Amino acid sequence: MKMNNMMKQAQKMQSQMMQIQEKLAEETVEGNAGGGMVKAIATGQGNLVEIKIDPEVIKPEDVEILEDLVLVAVNDSLEKSRDLANSRMGVFTNALSSLGL
């Protein structure tokens, strides 16, 4: 009987995890660099979906600076994406820990 309840709980948790993952695909986070002159938008699943660059930053003589800003913005958005996913999935991590798994 107890094993049956555990299986039902595991199935319920799996269903909830799938729902959260689907929602993470729809949620976005924004990383910034250069005071917001370069922005990178990523989903909660860590997929980069958009890059925005203020035209003021686009200067042929400053290509390396622009590249650095894009890199910083992308890394910032991906870090925020991981944080978002961890915060959403934390409930399950805690539940599994309490079960000794």
Neighbours of 82 (CB within 10 A): 15
- How large is the average pLDDT for residues 67-95? 89
Q: What is the pLDDT of residues 38-61, one digit of tens each?
A: 999 999 999 999 999 999 999 989
Q: Work out the pLDDT band at 33, boundaries 50, 70, 90.
A: very high
Judge contact between 30 and 79, C-beta under 8 A: no
- Kindly tell me if the per-residue pLDDT of 92 is higher than 90: no
| 37-57 per-residue burial string, b: 16 or more CB within 10 A, e: under 16 | bbbbbbbbbbeeeeeebeeee
The residue extents of the domains of the chain are: 26-98
Q: How far is CA 78 from CA 28, 48, 52, 54, in A?
A: 10, 8, 15, 20
- Listed residue (85, 66, 70, 75) closest to 26, CA to CA: 85
Would you identify the CATH topology of the domain 26-98? Ybab; Chain: A; (3.30.1310)
Q: Work out the pLDDT band at 94, boundaries 50, 70, 90.
A: low
Q: What is the mean pLDDT of the chain?
A: 88
